[in-house]
Structure 1
Amino acid sequence: MTKLISFSSDISNIELPKKFDYPYNYYPHTLAQIAAEELQEYLTHQNHFSHNFGIKNLESPNALGKMFGVLVVQQQDGTLGYLAAFSGKLADSTQHQHFVPPIFDVLDTNEFYLTTEKQLNELTHKIVSLENASEFTEVRKVYQKTKQLYEKLLADEQSRIKQRRKLRKKLGQQNNQLNINEEFYLREYQVYLNDKIAASKKAYQVKQHQIEELKQQRTNLSAWAQQEIFKKYAFLNYRGETKNLLDIFTNSTQNIPAGTGDCCAPKLLQHAYKHQLKPICMAEFWWGKPLKTSIRKHQYFYPACTGKCKPILTHMLQGVSIDKNPLKAQLKEEKEITIIYEDSDLLVINKPHELLSVAGKEIKDSVFSRIQKLYPNATGPLVVHRLDMSTSGLLLIAKSEETYKDLQAQFINKTIQKRYVALLDGILKEDKGKIDLPLRVDLNDRPKQLVCYQHGRKALTTWEKVEVLENKTKVYFYPITGRTHQLRVHAAHNLGLNTPIVGDDLYGKKADRLYLHAEKITFVHPTSKKQVSFTAPAPF
């Protein structure tokens, strides 16, 4: 059973893509969009499983959104169809009739995992039982109480000897032999106290050793099971070659993230290769309640993640003709920097969108590299602060290290005032407000950021509505802090404005550009010590 789904829509006049989309930065081809729409129609009306996606009630505590994917494929006779997949588990099951199976089914009763999980649970139960047993708790209590008492007796004796030595020194009655006798006495006293607690200590250690042995058994069994799982996750590529997770991550500096291999894209490609179906195009979308951490919006398309999926897909797509990263093509376009103001100390420039502030690993063209060429005698880091590559607007450039340090200090002290203008993809009900959502990098999907109250850094933004235009809202953003992607996440996240910036291909929907512009900046000039302000009106 191939799980191949026939299109119910008429696709006869739609031209096939020449290449497979670059999976980490793309907007789905028309065929993939149609397949996604048909899958969404199925999810809306199906009665094959019951899962609370939270579509009707976002406040439901048990609601859980889910990533789904479709892969348009071509059979050997040229007929098109598509495959469907979900990430992880759905309705507490790894397999459903409408979707391709997992790479490795941990819930398969014929596989080792469930048996191993049962053994691990039994070990945990034994450990907990021993730790909570009255016999063990009583032995531990007696030992700890006795140990604490005798440690205090020894500490008190040491203190008395110390006081006697201080008194002898004060009276000029130093006695080396007496000091030696006291040291000998302390050692003997310590041996005596240890003997007193030896019985209770041994009774405790016997019980503790039993528990530690069980814990080590559990650790060893868990480590073995994890390695076996990594071996079971074996992925085909278009050439028919197979690699498991251990092979794929052999030269990686990162550990294999939890859930690797259970995303939609690997499942879809694996099933296509197994049934001699040629991959044509793909789409992955979120269905249901948004997450509290990373940004996931109902029915929005998302590319494959870079942490878990990129290493796998690099192998699985070997032999498939793939489009180049569109980001590289955008960055190769010549974009001019406009100088708004210049004096002997600094520059105020207007950075175009899709230009890096400083060079990246693969892209060297940047504001820094261009300024360095224009001013070869300038010293210091030059670029005082940064704008996201996709954000346009005002940047401060220091011509000397002294100026750089002065302006940097103003940023650190939060005395520099910045105003951004953005166009949001929807209508805001409120007129102004404050967003306080701590941010950190998404380790499994760099460079995206996510909201994290445990490890995130404070990120604070105030905002005000300017006007509503054709179902879109123009706003002013005033960032108090300067975290990576702060305004983009604060706009898109459901705990923020819940309305992405137009053209945000990371947290919203792709457009001709990201409609975010650093429009105004106010600071104290390092030399004149007067407050100055510069404006570059938004080009939208």
Structure 2
Amino acid sequence: MKTTILKANCLSTDTYFHKFTTEIAATPLPLHFTFPFCYEPHLLAKKASAHVQEYILTQDEWTHNFGLDATVQGQAIGKMFGVLVVQDRNGNIGFLAAFSGKLAGKNDHRYFVPPVFDMLTDNSFFLLEEENLNQINNQITKLEQSGVGIALEKKLDDTKMTLDQALANFKKRLKNQKKERKVLREESRLNLSDAAYQLLEEDLIKQSLRDKYELQIFQKQYHDDLSLAKQPLLDFQNKVAALKDDRKKRSSQLQNQLFAQYNFRNALSETKNVIAIFKDFNDIQPPAGSGECAAPKLLQYAYLHDYVPIALAEFWWGQSPSAEVRRHQHFYPACRNKCEPILGFMLQGLSIDKNPMLESPDEATEIPIIFEDDHVLIINKPEEFLSVPGIHVQDSVYTRMIKKYPNAGPLIVHRLDMSTSGILVLAKTKESHKAIQNQFLNHRIIKHYIALLDGIIVEDEGEISLPIRVDLDDRPRQLVCYEHGKSAVTKWQKISVDNGKTKVKYFPITGRTHQLRIHSAHPNGMNCPIVGDDLYGQKANRLHLHAAYIEFNHPMTNERIHFQVEPNF
């Protein structure tokens, strides 16, 4: 990446190439292109984002309800926007802008680069097939809401009830006849001669065989009548199922036809289809919407028009979705599920910033030991340090401690997120590990965290209950989900407010991944992200979250012990 200091002097006739209206001559270019999955936006990218935000506020070409203006009609939908600072063939520095998905119901707008493939052009195969799919959806909805299915189910239930009652009555009659035969046998033994009794017994056996035969005939008729009664409902259900199956097949074919149009380039001028990209990356079918995010759009346009990518940034504009945590005007990394395979290919040939997630901690980083005896070890874990080895980074509390205590183990009883600092309890023996783990499982351990929130909290205390699950499209991010999420409960108390930030004490009742982070940032939680939270808030020097206190029974003496370490923020 060039480091020349240039002033924007856009001579291009490309309407998508935007020049900076402010002086940028004093702004050095980055040494490497942005690593899109974890970054602090370069100053030029921030300036470009400010230009785009000003355009959104002042333009009158389209109307979209971002949820920021109560007078705008329609469903409120926030949107991710992206900027790509580029250099043209004449050395001019400018930027390109894009949005993810659709904006105001369209893929193509004058200010933003076009999509890799515009599926919304008039009479496109997508719109034509979408109309067919809509017709199928309407048929399914009409059938499901018609009441026919419910009426047929009721009619079947009534018929089955009648048939069941008739069968029960028939069996009852046969049972009574059997009892009568038994009584007749017992009485006849005393009153009849052996020969006469033998003749009677033969006749009673014939009656019994006749009853069994009649029962078989009756049961066959029962099943025939029940099958006949079921048929109208089965025909209705099969009709709906056939429509849904047709819809599924058509949707899959349409998706594959769409993916065939998405051919991406990289800095080496190589081209690869999105299907091949995902197959090479993780051997799966691309998720719906792959290639529609802002970053791939920007890089594709840059490569096709001979622009050199310099810096990338993406920001959220508008109201946060109900499940995800997105804050207005905050910068966010590219999503993993859809963008990681595509951008991994598109960035080949560029000099990229290092992935900070792959960098091992400084070997000089110390792990302070608060307390130890023959059974337990209490440490103060530094921030940005793994509790256990990761896929790419091995250095961790576990590897450090097992090196220091080679005969100890299993050691790890619980974990802290890599970015979280604070008290971590380790067990030196199997017995200690089991005893402390049982206390965690039975909620006999008391602990609290201290966090610095990026905003002012008015209330003094409260409780948050928001169920959480992983965001399948953007791991490791979590989201709030009332349907599939696991219960997550946090109690909190306010400590102080200073310089527009609130220090709070958290008492997690449950221990879900990123629980405190998402409970802090979500609009239905504290609505204030933790300072330095690069997933749910804004990146800073560190995540201001610290495990400050823990209390439990010593695994051997059963004495109640506690430890406290104040945060360094």
Confirm or deny a common fold (TM above 0.5): yes
| Cα displacement (A) at 1:205 | 5.8
Partner deviation per Cα, 1:363-408 (whole Å, 9 max, x = no partner): 11111111111222223x3111111111111111111122111111
Who is 2:253 aligned against? Answer: 224
In the alignment, the residues of structure 2 paired with residue 170 and residue 519 of structure 1 have an alpha-carbon distance, to the nearest angstrom, of 84
1:136-166 C-alpha deviation (Å, 9 max, x unpaired)? 8877765664355335534654677689889
Q: Contact between 2:279 and 2:285, CA under 8 Å: does it hold in 1?
A: no
SS in 2 for 1:373: helix
Q: Distance in 1 between matches of 2:506 and 2:230?
A: 64
3-state DSSP of counterpart to 2:49: helix
SS at match of 2:311: strand
Q: Which of 256, 264, 275 is 1:235 aligned to?
A: 264
Say if 1:237 and 1:110 are closer, same or farther in 2 by CA, change over 3 A.
farther
After superposition, residues 223-372 of structure 1 pair within 5 angstroms as 223-251=252-280, 252=282, 255-329=285-359, 331-372=361-402
Q: Is the 8 A contact 1:234 1:242 kept in 2?
A: yes
CA distance in 1, matches of 2:16, 2:22: 18
Structure 2: gaps (5+ residues): 1-13, 187-200
Question: Aligned with 2:433: secondary structure?
Answer: helix
Higher mean C-alpha displacement, 102-111 vs 453-462? 102-111
Name the counterpart of 1:65.
78
The residue aligned with 1:75 is: 88
> Residue type matched to 1:441 in 2?
V
Structure 2 distance, partners of 1:360, 1:436, is: 30
Output one character per residue of 1:491-525: Cα deviation in whole Å (capped at 9) or x when no partner.
12221111121211111111211111111111111
Is the partner of 1:73 in helix, strand or coil? strand
Which residue pairs with 1:375 in the alignment? 405
Could you tell me how far apart the structure 2 residues matched to 1:523 and 1:58 are? 55
Partners of 1:528 and 1:57 lie apart in 2 by 62
**What's 1:40 paired with?**
53
C-alpha distance in structure 2 between counterparts of 1:257 and 1:444, whole Å: 9
Q: CA deviation at 1:216?
A: 3.7
Distance 2:417 2:513 in 1: 8
| RMSD between superposed Cα atoms in Å | 3.1
Out of 103, 114, 122, the residue aligned to residue 135 of structure 2 is 122
Cα shift at 1:187: 3.3
> Superposition pairs for residues 449-468 of structure 1, below 5 Å?
449-468=478-497
Are 1:490 and 2:503 matched, yes or no?
no
Q: 1:503 to 1:58 in 2, by over 3 A?
A: farther
Q: How many residues align?
A: 539
AA partner of residue 268 (structure 2): R
**Is the alpha carbon distance of 1:385 and 1:145 closer, same or farther for their aligned partners in structure 2, counting shifts above 3 Å?**
same
- Whole-angstrom distance in 2 between the partners of 1:507 and 1:161: 73
Moved more, 2-11 or 178-187: 178-187
d(CA) in 2 for partners of 1:45, 1:54: 16
The answer on 1:14 being equivalent to 2:27 is yes
2:471 to 425, 442, 449: 442
- CA shift, 1:309, in A, is 0.8
With normalisation by structure 2, the TM-score equals: 0.86
1:117 maps to amino acid: E
Residue 546 of structure 2: aligned partner: 517
Asked if 1:52 corresponds to 2:65, the answer is: yes
Which piece of structure 1 moves more, 221-230 or 263-272?
221-230
TM-superposed CA distance for 1:340, in Å, is 0.7
Q: TM-score, normalised by structure 1?
A: 0.91
Specify the alignment match of 2:195 in structure 1.
none
Please tell me the residue identity of whatever aligns with 1:440: R
**Alpha carbons 2:496, 2:504 under 8 Å: kept:** yes
Spell out, residue by residue over 1:450-474, the C-alpha distance to the aligned partner (whole angstroms, 9 max, x if none): 1111111111112222222322222
Q: Within 2, Cα distance between the matches of 1:228 and 1:159? A: 64
Q: Mark the structure with the bigger radius of gyration.
A: 2
Equivalent residue letter for 2:465: D
Distance 1:130 1:400, change over 3 A: closer
Within the alignment, does 1:96 sit opposite 2:96 as a pair? no
Question: Partners in 2 of 1:445 and 1:209 — Cα distance?
Answer: 37
- With 174-183 and 368-377 compared, the bigger mean Cα shift is at 174-183
Pair 1:388 & 2:417 matched: yes
Q: Does 1:28 align with 2:41?
A: yes
> Which region of structure 1 is more displaced relative to structure 2, 289-298 or 127-136?
127-136
Q: Percent identity?
A: 48
Assess, with a 3 A threshold, how the Cα gap between structure 1 residues 57 and 280 changes in structure 2: closer, same or farther. Answer: same
Q: Is the 8 A contact 1:58 1:289 kept in 2?
A: no
CA distance in 1 between partners of 2:407 and 2:179 (Å): 67
| Structure 1 letter corresponding to 2:107 | T
Offset of residue 180 of structure 1: 6.7
Q: Secondary structure at the match of 2:26?
A: coil
How far is 1:297 from its partner? Answer: 0.5
In 2, distance between residues paired with 1:98 and 1:57? Answer: 25
| Cα distance change of structure 1 residues 292 and 159 upon mapping to structure 2, 3 Å threshold | farther
- In the alignment, is the contact (CA less than 8 A) between 1:421 and 1:476 conserved in 2? yes
Query: Partner of 2:198 in structure 1?
Result: none
Q: 1:458 to 1:19 in 2, by over 3 A?
A: same
Cross-structure match for 1:535: 564
Please say if residues 77 and 319 of structure 2, whose CA atoms lie closer than 8 Å, have aligned partners that are also in contact. yes
Shift of 1:182: 5.5
* Change over 3 Å in CA distance of 1:506–1:141 after alignment to 2: closer
Structure 1 residues 206-215 or 520-529, which shifts more?
Answer: 206-215
How far, CA to CA, are the matches of 1:131 and 1:412 in structure 2?
46
Q: Does 429-438 or 325-334 show the bigger shift?
A: 325-334
Q: How does 1:131-280 map to 2 (within 5 A)?
A: 145-154=158-167, 157=170, 184-196=213-225, 212-251=241-280, 252=282, 255-280=285-310
